[in-house]
Each structure stands twice: as C-alpha cells, then as structure tokens.
Structure 1
C-alpha cells in the first residue's frame, strides 16, 4: 500500500487528537504514518479518508488505534542489569542522604515497570524499617493506566519473576492470574499525565525513570522533556533512560553521566 498524497492525513490527525486525546505533533510524522498504515491494512482501508470513515462507523477500532499509537510494550524487570544497578547502587546512594525518596516512572504503560521498582523498594524497606519511598507512575493512556492500577497479570507475563518475588509480592487469583498485593500497590500512585505538557507530575523528585518512551518523540520534544525532568529532580537526582535512547546536544549539559551503557544520569547544577 503506497500513499503519495495527504488523502485526509491532516483531518485524521485532528480526529485522533480530539477523540483519543493523543497529540500527534508530539511524535515523528513517519512514526504516526507507520502506525496508521498498520491499522489500515488490518481494516482493509486504502487511504486516510477511508480509514477516518471506518473509525466513525466502527467504535472498537478506536481502541485498536490507540494501542497502535501508544505501543504499550513492557515487561517486569526489562533490562535486568539496569534494575540491578537501581537496587545495588542508585537507591542505596539516595538513602544515604535521606530517609524518604520519591520516584517517578514516566510512561508506565500497564504497570510492569513501577511494580518492578516497587518490589526493589519494598525489599529495601523490609530490611531497614527507618526508610520509605513513594513511586509516581504516569501514562497518557488512561485505559492502560486502569490496568496498571488493578495490578493483575497473567502467568506468562510473570515469567521473569522468581518464585520468591511472586510469593512475596503477588496473590494468585482463582482464574490463574496474579494480583499485586496491597502493600506493594500502596507504594505506587498511578495518575494520568501527558509528558509533553511541560509540567512534571511533582517536584523535588529523587529519581525519574522514563525508559523506551522518547524513541517515538521528535528531537525538540525530547529536549523539552529532558528540561522538564531536570527541573523536577532534586540536586544530584537520577534520570534513567532506555538503553537505545540518548540526550540531545542542547540538553546533555544538564546531566552528568553515571553509566553510559545503562543510560543513567545525574542532575547537574
């Protein structure tokens, strides 16, 4: 399928922004078009105008489109070596300077990342009763955010967790799925949030984890987000990116590399 003209692309983008509340300008145009072409192939439509009509007449396709655009791909302890660094280096370093820390998991999707972070935090708190922490988990997609808040996962999605982690932090439900225990859920506050709003979810944060999210953003949007994160972090606060992501030249001076391979940085004054 080849589309050589607009064919209603602008109108379709406006519909997406108004109906799904997804700002297309926050993403690379090629990315938006690739995602749309994927859905058009699945629905048998041949141009943007035809697909827009299809959306008007087939409500369930709206959710398919939302999922295609937001690409909620995640798993527990994705890139285990990064979480190992969080457990052994980052959180212990933060707790040396304070008894309570605040973490923001930005673009949390269905919740695997914040729950992974919460498991590490819970284990540290169990070993040292004098420390505590709070995790803010946000996503622009309120559908996946609702799933994250419920904290229910299939046995297949728990594959990377050890039996000890599952037993300690999850309850097996009658249907064979697993739900995060209340004490784990209590560590996380799930909230809707648009990363491109320019406003952080909170201030004076000790750590921000935003992994495998900005790969879909324009260079300008990446830089703006990095500035937002810099302003939200406390002096010496940590910023953890995805391994394939990078800081743009205009903002790399805002952070000091801690581990270039793991893409861990510290806020620079």
Structure 2
C-alpha cells in the first residue's frame, strides 16, 4: 500500500494540471468535444482499448441535445482551443463519450467506473477574489463553468486510469472507464446505456466529489435523489394574467431539456390574509415560454 500511495502522490500534480485545463476550457453538456479528445489522447497513451462517439452513444437516446448551430460552433471552438485532431472528429455532432477498457488477461469480473465531463451553463467570476481567476484557469468560454466539479471528476478518472495501468499485473478481470457527457440535467447516461456500454459490466461505480465531509473521506452509497423522472408537460387553456384572472391563468407550456432553471417567487401578503404567489422564470436557449393559447 505505501507504494500505491507514493504513486498517487507523484501523480497528483499532473491531475491538478488536467483539472485546471478542463476548468479553463469548460464545455457544457453534449459539447465536450475538446475535453473528450484530451481524455482519449491520455487513455490511448496508456494503452487502453478505446471506444468513442457513436460507438458508445445511441443517437436516438440523447436527451436535451443543443441545436445544430450550437453543436457546430462548439466543435470549431474545441478545434481552435487545441483539441487533438486525431480524436476530435469522432465526437462531432454531439457524441462526446469515451469508454476505455483494460483487460488484465486473467479471469474475473468486469468493473466499470464512471465519471462525467460537462460544465454548467454559468458565467464564471472574473476578479481577484476568485482563485481560478487569480491563478489563470477561470473558464475562457462564455456561459460555461465547471461549478459542479466535473473537471475534477475527469481528472480523477484519468488518474485512476494511470493507477489501474500501473498495477494491472496485480488485478484480475476487466476494468472499464466511462467518461460521460451531459450529466447535468441527467441527459447523457441514457444514451450510453442504450448503446450497450453497461451490458457486460458486473460491478459499477460512479463518483462525485462531496461537500460537508473532511478531505480524504469516502462516502459510499446514496438514496432517493439519485433517481429522476423527466416530464414534458403542456397545458391547454385560455391565455390570462395570473393577477387578474387567476383561475383562468393555467396556460403554460413547460419543456425543460436543460438543468433546473433559476426561478424566483415573490409574496406580498400580510400575515393572516389571502394572497397570490406568482413564480416567474428566466428563459434560456432551447426552452419555449408562453406560446399562443390553444382553444
């Protein structure tokens, strides 16, 4: 075990370098073209067997896919920002998934480890109170920021790849590393499952860095919030103002292909009195709001 710890400690600076590079070049869900290309380059250099793009993502099972113009612009941006050209074309069109396999050549189970790669649709703070800005790795892509730690997850996945390769002679079975796009909004996993990525897997582990626990702590398992169901809901009715004809104001089409939207609710009611609470939402690209009424 001391040798393993020494190896990991020696690898830590490289993992920090990867994480900061991914943070600097943050890419939102289904747009992780540069990230996936960099990941593929590292894994190939370690000798992993790679499956990429359409081989690991079922096109018809993708959820919340950006429009073609957004995909094309992000692809060209990834190229301009140094995505390895050898790997980049495999991910074009919203197929930024990577699966790396290490077969020890000895009988045993297939273990899969999944990390995610996508950023959130946020603008990063750019002033000296923010360490990524001070240390020059704040996101250079407008409207995209690693605010949920997936840059760290990707770096951890690459670090794990090095550890498994280094100690492969002491392992049995097959190790599978899954680098998933579009985790935010729970959009990307379904397409990889539909492509058969998990068909031969015996044991599956997914990770997320945590908050509220001491550094170095590992928390195993989770309940309830790990499951999700999506609904596209359309209400048909009469167009009306909630403050004037509140009983008629039910016509709203809410379609949410992206992460939870920032909404605010205000109340102006004295204690003990009836009142109206109205929620308003800020539109985001790809979401339709307040269409014409249907009768």
TM-score bin (small chain): under 0.3
Higher gyration radius (CA): 2
More strand by share: 1
Select the structure with the greater relative contact order (CA < 8 A; seq sep ≥ 6): 2
More helix by share: 1
TM-score normalised over the length of structure 2 = 0.24
